[in-house]
Structure 1
Amino acid sequence: MRKKRKFAVILMVCISLLVMSGCNGSGNGSNGAAEKVNSNDYEPYSKYESPVEFTIGRHTNQVNNLPAGDTIENNLATRYVESRVNVKANVAWETDDMNQKLSLSMTTGDLPDVMLVSREIFNQLIDNDLIADLTDVYEKTASDGIKKIYESYGDSLLDQVKVDGKIMGFPMTNIGNQHQLLWVRKDWVDKVGGKLPTTLDEVWDLGRKFVEQDASGTGKTVAFVMNQNAMNFTPVFAAHDAFPTEWIKDADGQVIYGSVQPEMKEALTDLSERYKEGLIDKQFALRSNEEREALVINGQAGMLFNPWWIGYTNYKDSIKQDPKAEWVAVSAPVDENGKFKTIRQDPVGGGIVVVKKGFAHPEAIMKSINLTTDFLYSMTDDAIQYKKEHSDELLTDASRWNNDPTQIPMQIDYDDVLKRYYENLIQADESGDESAVQEDRIVSFHAFQEFKEKGNAIDVNTYGEYISRIEGQREANNDNLEVTLSGFYGMTETMKMKWANLKKLEEETFLKIIMGEAKVDEFDKFVDTWHRTGGDEILKEINK
């Protein structure tokens, strides 16, 4: 009995010491003494008297455009944050496999203060009570700019990181209107006496003209290029009112899976017939990415589906081979009501920023995100002036996407940023006032002006900037666009175990049908197997 009392006394002393020391062992970083957060610390841009440091786990750094002497922890972007709010990031570790590294860290308890995690790891961290509630931090410390960005998504973004109404992380964003567009060689259209298509029949008719008249002049003209994934042809599926790989809602509000609906069979039948007809590259399932690009670059292909950002791919090199190549974007094919349909991709893109529970200054993480976003997108006069004053320290690539060398490498932007961006360029062009262009869009504006002056007689990178930011962004916001929200984002328990096999079955079946290696009725067998081997369980979990 005496031993038990002695143990209890020791235990109470230990607990008292832990309480007196702040319990969590965090302060200006992972190892400092705990500090009290005062109301001023919550101000979005208030500066700490003493440096507040945090550790972060990162993907292996691939950045190679830092000025001499700079590092991933010490460069113009990080120095801006430090100079304004006295917050510093230290890299705890880098990894090529974030999920594996964090899973191991959870078992050892050796978590960094800040992590950029997948939805799967996010849920595990919550289940194990390892991350901080960031509700107050967001409400009090997020800048107006950050809040406006998040609010542009309505409830579809922050609701995904809430647990019992509490904000448990800051999501990276997947901007809207990144759907597939139809890219067409307009010079070929003129050559064969055709017109830019609108309906699906017009799309196929134009493809026939390209092939029959050998628009490439090579004797090997290909109407359509596609990759090994049949979902590359999502606009064709949508014209049939089919939405493969998407969780959609039926008339009763229940979530169903697009790939197993009757409309899919009709769409697959159509694609199978066009493949047999020779409108789709016969070797598409076997070609490497480089071989597929070569068909476009070397002038053998006249159409392909790709989002607005095609100019940032190697496809832009087609003007090297043929200076007369003229690529335009079209929102086609439309459905019988003249609508170009698409499903909204998951607005959470790239990951979720979380903070380890017990870290003394979670508001410092929000400040870092505030300042970094201001810096990347030139959102404040202070950020613009800072970059001008340190112009010799800028990264060699000043792209607004270049977020790797920042304290927390997350990308966030407005849901409708493509519309904002395009309209900004057009308004400045029409007014002749370059000063009206947002600072981080100047490169695009200059590319626009140079193309207007010289046409294709410009550098391929300038051409790529032009077709993405003018052609692509314009068409991504076409008035005929009809966007439907997905019925579900995420991963159920059954999906964790069975989704990989179901996806493989789906992809293999669809490819075989399109290429004529399986009859279209194979779709019915696929649907039955999908439901029996996990699909019904998944649907039950989603709709519970």
Structure 2
Amino acid sequence: MRKWMIMFIMGIGLVSFIGCNICTSSFNANFEEEQREAETTPFGRYPEEVVYTLGKMTGTNNSNMPKGDTYEDNAYTRYLKEKLNIQNKDVFEEDTDYDNMVSMAITAEDLPDVMVVSDTEQLQMLVEKDLIEDLTEVYENCASDTIKDIYASYGEEIFENVTINGKLMAVPETNIENGPSLVWLRKDWMDKLHLAAPKTLDDVEEIIKQFIEKDPGNNGKGNTIGLLCDANIIGEAGYSYEYQTDIIFSSYGSFPKQFVYSKDGELVYGSIQPEAKEALKRLNRMYKDGILDSQFLLRSTGNIIDLITSGKSGSFFGPWWAPNNPLIDAKKVNGDADWEPYLIQTDADGSTCYASQNPSYKYVVVRKGYEHPEIVMKIISVLFDYARFQDTDAKEMAMYYKLNVDPTARPLAINVDYSNALMRCYKNLTNALIGKEKSSNLEQIEQSYYDACKDYVNKKENATCEEWAAYTSRIKACGVIENGKTKQVKSLFFGETETMKEKWLSLGKLEEQTYLRIITGEAPIKEFDAFVAKWKQSGGDTILREVKESIENTK
């Protein structure tokens, strides 16, 4: 009897042991399968939390996030935790000093797992030091079909700056087509002075002159500041910035910092063409007459925003999204401040000419040796595909759009969208607002804009500043561009040639110094000719030949 019981107990133990082994093996197999799916697909969720260190690009005012939200705990990070089981741990969080922090990390060769770099020079340095991962396979496996379609809308040039020796060394941001810069003016001041909407640069000058002389803003005679302008007067590589003078240059058929074809079909660098000289003459006169802010060289971006919000100035050039930054702050200070956008004619036929922009100006990189390089592509696929086009219940992120939360709240402070996203959104919103289309057919992000715009239309007098910003940017400003007569000049090259690596920085400084000296009257206009000659002799001609060869080789 005792022997039988011993054998029985041993049998039970053996069965239990075998059962546990089977359960363990099954668990391990399931874990490995889930892990493999997570590492090789756009939307697969990691079975265990993955924490990645991040160099975080931030925004002003905590990126306008709701109280209590942080860059490690907000609508985006919570959504990514839910869908992918990932969490960022920020090594540094910087706004204006972000690029310096990245440079320091590169110099020290001590990188976070993931970060965004803002120029090709930093990217090239990372490649040369062998500090970042090849993301070719990551893109193939973890970019969703929609994300691949989005990148395809920009053509092959979107990957030119990030493909080195046949390898994809970074994931590029996409810069949607923003259209030409607009002039933003205080319409309430114009109404007070009975001034008509401007059509030309001459009209703009006259309006600014009236603002200064007749003081509709009650700043005191002579205290109203003229056209606000950044010290970087030209948008580099066609990128859309605020407080710059590209439209003034294009009024003379000039496109500084762009490689374009001349009227004769010759490849030229816009900054050294005779048309640029004529535009500089105009800017010098505007500076002398006080139309252009006489202190623009000393202004920081923060100082410019202060002048706008305090009502000290009523004019600047900026893109369609200016209501989101800085004008929403001006509206919060003074609800009666009526800022309106206007499209300025640059050509005799009444059209507005502008240069196309660099399709990408930020690049996401992954530290060499990081265990999960695929994580960056998964973040992009989830935030810019799944959450937008597939998930109808991403309500917290939808609220962020309605609250005008800045994109820098995202772990990766980039945007990925179709090249024609701006005008497509405008048309969809307009059709929904007039009842031509059902609002339920809108994308998630469009639905958020629609709700804000509809609220603005329905309660204009009591609308929030966020609703005003959404309507003024997405409907009013975009409508000005869509209904205007615009012509785009194709910028032909955004890469870096061999000579550029050594000479471009010094040539850029030479150009910047010459332009500013001429505008402020520190140098006579004839210095432009000396600048052109020096630019050519100092490597410019060689660079032009290299750019031409590069363009011909890609045809």
TM-score (normalised: structure 2) = 0.75
- Mapped contact 1:58–1:94 kept (Cα < 8 A): yes
- Give the secondary-structure state (helix, strand or coil) at the position aligned to 2:364: strand
2:522 alignment partner AA: E
Which residue does 1:379 correspond to in 2?
A: 389
Which residue does 1:44 correspond to in 2?
A: 42
Match status 1:225 vs 2:216: no
**Mapping 1:256-405, distance limit 5 Å:** 256-319=268-331, 323-350=335-362, 352-355=363-366, 362-363=373-374, 365-374=376-385, 378-381=388-391, 384-385=392-393, 387-388=394-395, 399=404, 401-402=406-407, 404-405=409-410
For residues 212 and 50 of structure 2, the distance between their equivalents in structure 1, rounded to whole angstroms, comes to 62
Which residue does 1:30 correspond to in 2?
A: none
- Mapped contact 1:146–1:370 kept (Cα < 8 A): yes
Cα distance, 1:129 vs. partner? Answer: 5.5
Cα distance, 1:181 vs. partner? Answer: 0.8
- Mapped contact 1:132–1:354 kept (Cα < 8 A): yes
**Mapping 1:408-487, distance limit 5 Å:** 408-431=412-435, 434-455=439-460, 457-487=462-492
Match status 1:58 vs 2:61: no
- Mapped contact 2:65–2:405 kept (Cα < 8 A): no
- Mapped contact 2:226–2:314 kept (Cα < 8 A): yes
2:229 alignment partner AA: M
Cα distance, 1:43 vs. partner? Answer: 3.9
1:158 alignment partner AA: F
Q: Deviations over 1:200-249 (max 9, x none)?
A: 33333444555565544543355533333433111011010011222323
2:43 alignment partner AA: Y
Match status 1:180 vs 2:181: yes
Which residue does 2:17 correspond to in 1?
A: none
For residues 59 and 239 of structure 1, the distance between their equivalents in structure 2, rounded to whole angstroms, comes to 39
Distance 1:324 1:130, change over 3 A: closer
Selected match of 2:493 from 476, 488, 496:
488
Selected match of 1:94 from 92, 95, 112:
92
Which residue does 1:29 correspond to in 2?
A: none
1:162 alignment partner AA: T
Distance 1:251 1:134, change over 3 A: farther
Selected match of 1:521 from 518, 526, 530:
526
Cα distance, 1:140 vs. partner? Answer: 4.2
For residues 203 and 403 of structure 1, the distance between their equivalents in structure 2, rounded to whole angstroms, comes to 33
Percent identity for Structure 1 against Structure 2: 35
Size of the aligned set, in residue pairs, is 497
- Give the secondary-structure state (helix, strand or coil) at the position aligned to 2:347: coil
Q: Which moved more, 1:230-239 or 1:534-543?
A: 534-543
RMSD across aligned C-alpha pairs, in angstroms? 3.9
Cα distance, 1:464 vs. partner? Answer: 2.9
Which residue does 1:505 correspond to in 2?
A: 510
Which residue does 1:200 correspond to in 2?
A: 201
- Mapped contact 1:401–1:411 kept (Cα < 8 A): no
For residues 509 and 372 of structure 1, the distance between their equivalents in structure 2, rounded to whole angstroms, comes to 44
For residues 520 and 152 of structure 1, the distance between their equivalents in structure 2, rounded to whole angstroms, comes to 42
Q: Deviations over 1:488-515 (max 9, x none)?
A: 2134454444444433333333233223
TM-score (normalised: structure 1) = 0.77
Distance 1:126 1:253, change over 3 A: farther
Cα distance, 1:393 vs. partner? Answer: 13
Which residue does 1:28 correspond to in 2?
A: none
- Mapped contact 1:226–1:233 kept (Cα < 8 A): yes
2:116 alignment partner AA: L
For residues 111 and 296 of structure 1, the distance between their equivalents in structure 2, rounded to whole angstroms, comes to 38
Cα distance, 1:325 vs. partner? Answer: 3.7
For residues 472 and 405 of structure 1, the distance between their equivalents in structure 2, rounded to whole angstroms, comes to 25
- Mapped contact 2:53–2:88 kept (Cα < 8 A): yes
Cα distance, 1:347 vs. partner? Answer: 1.3
Match status 1:138 vs 2:139: yes
1:535 alignment partner AA: G
Q: Which moved more, 1:337-346 or 1:450-459?
A: 450-459
For residues 290 and 84 of structure 2, the distance between their equivalents in structure 1, rounded to whole angstroms, comes to 62
Distance 1:319 1:368, change over 3 A: closer
Distance 1:206 1:369, change over 3 A: closer
Distance 1:477 1:286, change over 3 A: same
- Mapped contact 2:186–2:338 kept (Cα < 8 A): yes
Gaps of 5+ in 2: 1-31, 235-243, 550-555
For residues 380 and 291 of structure 1, the distance between their equivalents in structure 2, rounded to whole angstroms, comes to 42
Distance 1:494 1:462, change over 3 A: same
- Mapped contact 1:331–1:478 kept (Cα < 8 A): no
Distance 1:327 1:52, change over 3 A: closer
- Give the secondary-structure state (helix, strand or coil) at the position aligned to 2:156: coil
Distance 1:494 1:452, change over 3 A: same
- Give the secondary-structure state (helix, strand or coil) at the position aligned to 1:224: coil
Distance 1:482 1:456, change over 3 A: farther
Cα distance, 1:337 vs. partner? Answer: 2.9
- Mapped contact 1:76–1:393 kept (Cα < 8 A): no
